[in-house]
Structure 1
Amino acid sequence: MSKTILDLIIHYEYVGIFLALAFGLIGLPVPDEILLTFTGYLVYLGKTGFTLTLMSAFLGAMSGISVSYFLGCKLGLPFLERFGPRVGITEQKIEKSQLYFQKYGNLMIIIGYFIPGIRHISAYLAGIAAMNFKRFALYAYSGGLVWSFTFIMLGKGLGRKWRVVEQYFQNLGLYAVVTAGGVVLLVWLFYKIKMRRA
């Protein structure tokens, strides 16, 4: 993880967590999962409190994903295609995200948090698709809370071994992407079956 981001979190604590996640979800190259796991490690050390850490992370994620949604509404797909590659949002990622968004819709916004490269685009696509903001917020904020909680708890649980997550994401490749896709598909099928029974 970038030393600059680590320093931001260490020196500014909750404000640093908020800013790093907000800018990360807008699209800047911030290693979000690693950052969240590191904040969990800080909770483990007793340097930050769990509740305030979770709130800072959630509010940062909520702010970043909301800005992305409104950028999608106002600037549309051409903006994303033109400027996305400068921050690692490639044309291939955009196309893949569009495909997922068309197939899974609301669920994509929640599950997208757990798929690196996808969560940064899902909010833009929701804005481009003119999804109702209240509906978007319901799914996006719920997903943001679950995502933040999961990785903070992981960092807290791993303690001094938190860098295991960093190593995992550094080695993230096709296998992990396929696995994440499988998880999305299973959750989607479960959701469809539940809706039919209801």
Structure 2
Amino acid sequence: MVESLINMVILVMGKLGYLGVFVFMALESACIPIPSEAILPFGGYLSYIGRLSIIPTIIIGTLGGTFGSILAYYLGKLGGRPLVEKYASFLHLSKSSLDKSDAYFKKYGEKIVFYSRLLPIVRTFISLPAGISNMDFKKFTVYTFFGSLIWSTLLGFTGYYMGANWIIIRPWFHYADIVVVVVIVGLIGYKLMTIKKVKKL
């Protein structure tokens, strides 16, 4: 399925150019798992062959990512918390853990949002909990923009300098995805085990 998504990205971006970069980056940042690791390096490659320009590609990718993140933020802010509370027991989440999440975002929200933009998978979904925790919108937007700018610059220039060989970087990002998933699953498993131990006591 991921391979099909990547092929679709390549096909559509080849026809739409900058608009394709914006739309796909917006979708990727709005919790739709379209890999930016394909969008931006391919945009860099199109810049390498002269169909696009690298700086506008990076800027448009950043703006698209920021726009999609804002949509996801408001989705979390407007309807996320009641929905999470409704299914909290099913997700093994207590009210105290939700309150802790809110407190973390109020205290460390800027760092969480900024550094999450540099992590595969996490960057796609971080806007939802930021919205649910009602993080300050201006701070959210600023740190999202600059985090996305670094990510877009890294991937865009990678595709540009790799040229026709841009496609060989995809497996490396796939390995990064696996590492991030393993870490997340490990943390969730550790948290569930901790909760069960506390309940037994």
Q: TM-score, normalised by structure 1?
A: 0.73
Highest CA radius of gyration, 1 or 2? 2
Name the count of aligned residue pairs: 167
Pairing of 1:120-131 with structure 2 (within 5 A): 120-131=124-135
Find the aligned partners of 2:37 and 2:162 in 1 and give their Cα distance. 14
Deviant stretches of 4+, over 2 Å: 77-82, 101-105, 169-179
* 2:19 aligned residue: 15
Pairing of 1:147-166 with structure 2 (within 5 A): 147-166=151-170
Structure 1 gap segments, 5+ residues each: 83-90, 180-198
Pairing of 1:183-194 with structure 2 (within 5 A): none
76 and 174 in structure 1: CA distance in 2 versus 1, 3 angstrom threshold: same
Find the aligned partners of 2:85 and 2:48 in 1 and give their Cα distance. 41
Q: Does 1:45 align with 2:49?
A: yes
Find the aligned partners of 1:43 and 1:146 in 2 and give their Cα distance. 18
Structure 2 gap segments, 5+ residues each: 92-96, 184-201
Find the aligned partners of 2:177 and 2:72 in 1 and give their Cα distance. 26
Q: Over aligned residue pairs, what C-alpha RMSD do you find?
A: 2.9
Find the aligned partners of 2:47 and 2:84 in 1 and give their Cα distance. 36
Residues 66 and 123 in structure 1, CA contact (< 8 A), matched pair in contact too: yes
Find the aligned partners of 2:23 and 2:84 in 1 and give their Cα distance. 22
Q: Does 1:69 align with 2:73?
A: yes
Residues 18 and 59 in structure 1, CA contact (< 8 A), matched pair in contact too: yes
Q: Deviations over 1:54-111 (max 9, x none)?
A: 22211111110111111111011465799xxxxxxxx7xxx9xx69x65853112111
Measure how far apart 1:156 and its partner are. Answer: 0.7
Find the aligned partners of 1:134 and 1:25 in 2 and give their Cα distance. 17
> Which of 172, 194, 201 matches 1:168?
172
Measure how far apart 1:24 and its partner are. Answer: 1.1
Q: TM-score, normalised by structure 2?
A: 0.72
Q: State the SS of the aligned residue for 2:117.
A: helix
